[in-house]
Each structure stands twice: as structure tokens, then as C-alpha cells.
């Protein structure tokens, strides 16, 4: 999902429509909101409270993906469809980003920044975390796919 400032980023909105990427338009004050006839689109006007923003994002993702959106609670339980799996605290940091951007590419740099161990994580360290996450996700029918040269994508393989 992508946040798009309206009307300043009108070309980004068009690109999202062309690529089928869900987008939430952030409508500037004093500007008429656009008509959102595409189910992959919705809008909010700031200021918006965090709970209201989260609810709007959840509704948009549910409309786009149905009920097939993973959810992660604060103690490390990942829910998908009618299944669940627990993950470690290091894996929670990575999964938060994957869940926020479900179905979209997440760069290695963003993931490494999330790990933010005492020292910058090595390439092998991130690869090890991804490998372990992949194994944990097999039980809930989710997969982390490599997007070569870009990063990784969390997706439902049968979607």
C-alpha cells in the first residue's frame, strides 16, 4: 500500500492504478477530495488520529485482499487466515515492516535498519533472519519471496 499526497502526487496515484497498488490519498486542506471509484483507493484528510488512520488502512487492505491480510500482535503472534505462528523478538521487527507493506517489496536496507542490532547487521545476519522467518511462515501459508536486486516481498503463495 502506498500513501499519496493529493493533488500534488497525482502522477503517483495514476502509477498506483496502473500497477494495481492500493493507495491511500492524503488530501490537503481546502482541496476537494477525488472520487475514488477504484476499490484499491481511499482517502483521508489530516489531521487524522492514529486509530482512525489504522482503521482506514485496514479497511482498504481488506477490500483489496479480502480477509487475507496478515496481522501481528505485540507479543509476536502472527495471524493469517485461521492459522497462527509465534515469532521471536528479532523476527517481530522484520515482520512489522512486512505486514505493513504486505504484497510490496521491502528493501534489504529497510530490513537491516529495523534489525538495528548493537552494530549494523551483516549481510549474512539478515539472510539468516530471513531464512528462519521463511521456515516459520510455512505453517501459516505465507512466504517471503526474493525480489532480485530490490529486496523481499511477503505474500500468500496461493493468491
The range of the structural domain enclosing residue 47 comes to: 2-65
CB 103 within 8 A of CB 155: yes
Domain co-membership, 78 together with 54? no
Share of the chain above pLDDT 70, in %: 93
Measured in residues, the chain has a length of 159
- Report the CATH number that the domain containing residue 90 is assigned in CATH: 1.10.10.10
CB 5 within 8 A of CB 13: no
Domain co-membership, 100 together with 80? yes
- Boundary-marking domain end, from 65, 85, 119: 65
Written in H, E and C, the secondary structure of 70-133 is CEECCCCEEEECCEEEECCHHHHHHHHHHHHCCCCEECHHHHHHHHCCCCCCCHHHHHHHHHHH
- Boundary-marking domain end, from 14, 49, 65: 65
13 has pLDDT over 90? yes
| Total domains present in the chain | 2
Domain co-membership, 43 together with 76? no
- How high is the mean pLDDT of the chain? 87
CB atoms within 10 A of CB 80: 22
> What CA dihedral angle connects 18, 147, 138 and 125, to 10 degrees?
-140
107 has pLDDT over 80? yes
Distance CA 59, CA 26 (A): 16
- Boundary-marking domain end, from 36, 65, 94: 65
Question: What's the mean pLDDT in 16-42?
Answer: 90
Domain co-membership, 50 together with 105? no
Higher pLDDT, 4 or 20: 4
Domain co-membership, 36 together with 81? no
Domain co-membership, 75 together with 151? yes
User: Which residues, including other chains, have CB under 8 Å from residue 150's CB and lie 6 or more apart?
Assistant: 105, 107
In this prediction, residue 118 carries a pLDDT of 47
User: Which residues, including other chains, have CB under 8 Å from residue 78's CB and lie 6 or more apart?
Assistant: 70, 71, 72, 84, 85, 86, 87, 95, 99, 137, 140, 142
Note the pLDDT tens digit of each residue in 62-98: 787 766 788 888 888 998 877 899 999 889 999 999 9
In this prediction, residue 106 carries a pLDDT of 94
Q: Is the dihedral of CA 9, 11, 15, 17 positive or negative?
A: positive
Amino acid at each position: 500500500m502506498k500513501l499519496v499526497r493529493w493533488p500534488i502526487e497525482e502522477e503517483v496515484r495514476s502509477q498506483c492504478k496502473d500497477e494495481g497498488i492500493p493507495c491511500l490519498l492524503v488530501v490537503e486542506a481546502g482541496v476537494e477530495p477525488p472520487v475514488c471509484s477504484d476499490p484499491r483507493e481511499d482517502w483521508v484528510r489530516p489531521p487524522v488520529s492514529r486509530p482512525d488512520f489504522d482503521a482506514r488502512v485496514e479497511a482498504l487492505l481488506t477490500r483489496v485482499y479480502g480477509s487475507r491480510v496478515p496481522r501481528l500482535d505485540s507479543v509476536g503472534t502472527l495471524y493469517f487466515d485461521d492459522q497462527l505462528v509465534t515469532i521471536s523478538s528479532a523476527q517481530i521487527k522484520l515482520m512489522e515492516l512486512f505486514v505493513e507493506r504486505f504484497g510490496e517489496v521491502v528493501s534489504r536496507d529497510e530490513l537491516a535498519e529495523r534489525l538495528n542490532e548493537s552494530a549494523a547487521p551483516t549481510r549474512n545476519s539478515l539472510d539468516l533472519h530471513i531464512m528462519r522467518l521463511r521456515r516459520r511462515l510455512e505453517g501459516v501459508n505465507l512466504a517471503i519471496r526474493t525480489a532480485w536486486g530490490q529486496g523481499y516481498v511477503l505474500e500468500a503463495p496461493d493468491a
